[in-house]
Amino acid sequence: MFNQVLSGDFPRSRLLSVLLVVIFLYLGTAPFLFSGVRPINVAATTCVFIVLVASFDLLLGYCGVVSFAHAMFYGIGAYGTAIAISRMGPTWSAIALGTLGSVAVSVVVALLIALISLRVKAIFYSMMTLAISAAFGALVTRMSDITGGDDGLNFRLPESLTPSFRFFDHDILATTINGKVAVYYIIFFSTVILVFAMLRIVNSRFGRVMEAIRENEFRAEAIGYHALTYRVTVNCVAAAIATCGGVLMALWLQYVGPQSIVGFDVVLNILLMAVIGGLGTIYGPIVGVALFVIAENYLQSLMTSLAPSLASHVLMARLFDPDRWLLWFGIAFVLSVYFFPSGIVGKLRASKRGLL
């Protein structure tokens, strides 16, 4: 049973298995374990970025292609959903139409980008995707009548997905099961389904061919596999999944804006999470995203709580001033990349095989 669910791709490390189980339980029970807005928001953001970073790993880890246009497809999903709901009203049909329309647009755009850009190699392809992504960001800002411009778009969801809507008269495990909890579990289960789908893709014949092309394109071509066809296909698949991530984030925030959705910071964060977790494995993005998002949200709070105990040590107090949290955040991840060059998952799997 587990072999079928995981498509034969087991963690192959006891510590990695424990990490994955802990992350799954944390995300699956977050609304019942934590109170307040911030912890649930962190868990929902983690789910969305697992989808986004894992789909990016399909390109970088399995295809060997660095694409800076990936956040654009995330933005298409978010904006497509927001525009559909804003125009059609807070209905399920608007959500469905926005999702399907966004995925269709992303696949077409990804196909065109791939056919044009994948004929060039290495840094030239990356620069072309960066230019296209920048053009999309500028377009979003300029088309203020449709996208809201710099202010973005706010929208409402169907009544059953609002915090005021209660599914039960009584709390369950001291938690009110309202529309916001329902949105969270839509995001969570969508993430689980998409992760299993990606596991199936990378462990299929298609995934093996992609790895062969990544390792030696000339040899793959020599035995009959057309590299461009496979790369175009994986670009379209990754774009569609990234679009779904954008839809999920829009549903959670009920807002889309250029800085939070299509900003260059989103691209850099995606790349960092993928590298930290480990490329070429769907488990890598899960671990990388969980560590990154939790550190990003709680490191400053941790330093704030430590501040009173360090007040008597002037140098330590200055070094660990809460306003310097970004410095330590950067140092922590530079060290993680230095000590885990193949990513956390790659290190754990290599350690299991006794290769270190």
**DSSP result, 263-303:** SHHHHHHHHHHHHHH-TT-THHHHHHHHHHHHHHHHHHHHH
Look at 356 and 61; give whichever has higher pLDDT. 61
Tally of CB atoms within 10 A around 104: 14
Helix/strand/coil for 255: strand
pLDDT tens digits along 338-348: 877 788 888 88
Residue 325 — pLDDT band, cuts 50, 70, 90?
A: confident
What is the pTM assigned to this prediction?
0.91
> 28-280: which CATH number, 1.10.3470, 1.10.287, 3.40.470, 1.10.1740?
1.10.3470
Q: Does 49 score more than 80 pLDDT?
A: yes
Which one-letter DSSP state was computed for residue 175? B
Paired strand residues for 255: 154
Q: What percent of the chain has pLDDT over 70?
A: 94
**Residue carrying structure tokens 């569609």:** 240
Amino acid in position 334:
V
First and final C-alpha spacing in the chain:
32
16-25, 101-110, 113-122: least confidently modelled range? 113-122
Query: Which tokens is 48 given?
Result: 């969305």
243 and 74 Cβ atoms separated by less than 8 Å: yes
Highest mean pLDDT among 181-190, 262-271, 290-299: 181-190
Residue 23 — pLDDT band, cuts 50, 70, 90?
A: very high
